[in-house]
Amino acid sequence: MNDCATKIELIEALSNDAYRIRFAVDWKAFDPGQFVMMGIPGNVVFLRRPFGIARFSNGVAEICCKVVGRGTRALSDAKVGTRIDVLGPCGRGFRFPQKEEPAILVAGGYGIGPIFGLCEALLAQGRRCILYYGARETSHLLYLDELAKIGANVKCSTEDGSHGARGMIAELLEKDLDNIEKPSLFACGPHGLSKAVAEISRRRGVPAQVSMESYMACGIGVCLGCACKDADGNFVRTCREGPVFDVRELQWDSSPL
């Protein structure tokens, strides 16, 4: 994990409220599922914001920034060349399945960022994978062009039926699992999606990992603001013990903290 001062090299709109942002870093590599804590330009907010790493190549990292408040709005409004501070790569990423096991990736909306990074890494190794991607409507489906370019097998659903199947992506996933031998599940998205994947995993005896979305203030495990409960009811830090967890490690009966 390194803390570096860098500059924004690219900002590009992916939708009305989501942006691709690239910046140079001094890492050698990252594990898909890891994240960065990024400083916000100006004096709009004090704390850094966490973003999943979508891509990394030749010393340049990419994150997907969805505008949800003052901090992300200020970041999306920044210009190329703006100086930023970046801490990363942070946390625990996905653990790859055995080579003979097909990887079934599941993303919901903005959760496509870390899942895209995982998909690209798996395909680069010649691994078998299928990506199930769901969102509320077509405009909320991001990285579709990039997924096509890397040859990803993508199955989509939207709640309004405007793209792919109508309904929730977990429903489409479960319909298909009967025809997939020895799958391993990898998910990132809203808590409801992670919980649905955990339930599918429990009911079918299928291994699953989820990247938990959580508010983070420090990203290094000090502030304890991102805590969730493990299977024994103890608190674990999303930023340090996660953000990727085996679903068996977590408690799913209570609401997220």
| Domains annotated on the chain, with CATH | 2-90 (2.40.30.10), 103-249 (3.40.50.80)
Residue 43 has pLDDT above 90, yes or no: no
Confidence of residue 257 (pLDDT cuts 50, 70, 90): very low
232 CB burial (10 A radius; 0-12, 13-18, 19+): exposed
* Average pLDDT of the residues of the chain: 94
Residue 256 has pLDDT above 50, yes or no: no
3-state secondary structure of 121: helix
- Each residue's pLDDT tens digit, 94-133: 999 888 889 999 999 999 999 999 999 999 999 999 999 9
The rounded distance, in Å, linking the Cα atoms of 188 and 111 is 5
- Helix (H) or strand (E) holding 122, with range, is helix 112-124
Percent of the chain at pLDDT above 70?
98
> What angle, rounded to 10 degrees, do the helices at 191-204 and 169-177 form?
20
What's phi and psi for 236, nearest 5 deg? -130, 155
- Paired tokens of 182: 């020895």
pLDDT score, position 254: 55
The rounded distance, in Å, linking the Cα atoms of 162 and 155 is 14
pLDDT score, position 135: 97
Answer whether 64's CB lies under 8 Å from 142's CB.
yes
In DSSP terms, 205 is beta-bridged to none
Residue 225 has pLDDT above 60, yes or no: yes
Residue 12 has pLDDT above 90, yes or no: yes
- Each residue's pLDDT tens digit, 175-204: 999 999 999 999 999 999 999 999 999 999
Residue 5 has pLDDT above 90, yes or no: yes
- Paired tokens of 93: 């990423």
Residue 62 has pLDDT above 70, yes or no: yes
Q: What is the rounded (10 degree) CA torsion for 239, 209, 28, 214? A: -30
The rounded distance, in Å, linking the Cα atoms of 70 and 101 is 43
Distance of CA 5 to the CA centre of its chain: 24
Mean pLDDT of 29-47: 94
Residue 82 has pLDDT above 60, yes or no: yes
Confidence of residue 255 (pLDDT cuts 50, 70, 90): very low
